């Protein structure tokens, strides 16, 4: 049950791009800040909304 809960939480974080942000910080060795989030978010959203959304 605990494992399932963890999986659901990880899925929600993935859908919310929070996991991707964490990976971004780790990959670039950076600390979280408002400026960093905005930089990450702009890049991420630009790629995300250049693709067709499903019907």
Partner 1 sequence: MKILRGTKILGHLFWAAVAAAAAFCLGGIALNRGEHINSIWLVVAAACTYAIGYRFYARFISARVMTLNDQRATPAERLRNGHDFEPTNKWIVFGHHFAAIAGPGPLVGPVLAAQFGYLPGTLWIIIGAVLGGAVQDFVILFASMRRDGKSLGQMAREEIGKIGGFTALLTVLLITIILLAVVALVVVNALRGSPWGTFTIAATMPIALFMGIYLRYWRPGKVLECSAIGFVLVMASIFAGRSVAESAALAPIFTLSALGLAIAIILYGFLASVLPVWLLLAPRDYLSTFVKLGVVLMLAVGILFVRPELQLPAFTRFVDGTGPIFAGKVFPFCFITIACGAISGFHSLISSGTTPKMIARESHAWPVGYGSMLLESFVAIMAMIASCVLQPGVYFAVNSPAGVVGTTPAAAVAVISSWGFPVSVADMSNLARDVGEQTLFYRTGGAPSLALGMARIFARGGGGQAVIGFWYHFAIMFEALFILTIIAAGTRVGRFMLQELLGHVSQPLGRTSWMPGMMATSACIVAGWGYFLIQGVRDPLGGINSLWPIFGIANQLLAAIALCVATTILLKMHGAKYMWITCVPLAWLVIVTFTAAWQKIFSPIPAIGFLTQADRLESAVRAGAAANTAATQTLIFNARLDAAMCGLLLVLVATILLDSVRVWIGILRGTSEAPVREAPFVLSRLQTEEL
Report how far apart, in Å, the C-alpha atoms of 10 and of each of 15, 25, 26, 42, 43 are.
9, 17, 17, 22, 22
Out of 15, 29, 30, 31, which residue is the one contacting partner 1 (CB under 8 A)? Answer: 15
Single residue of 18, 29, 30, 31 touching partner 1 by CB under 8 A: 18
34: contact with partner 1 by CB under 8 A: yes
Q: Is 23 exposed, middle or buried (0-12, 13-18, 19+ CB in 10 A)?
A: exposed
Residues that bind partner 1 (CB under 8 A): 7, 10-18, 20-21, 23-24, 26-28, 32-34, 36-38, 41-55
């Amino acid at each position: 049950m605990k494992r399932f809960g963890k999986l659901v939480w990880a899925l929600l974080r993935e859908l919310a791009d929070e996991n991707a942000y964490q990976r971004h910080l780790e990959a670039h060795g950076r600390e979280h800040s408002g400026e960093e989030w905005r930089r990450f978010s702009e890049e991420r959203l630009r790629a995300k909304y250049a693709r067709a959304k499903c019907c």
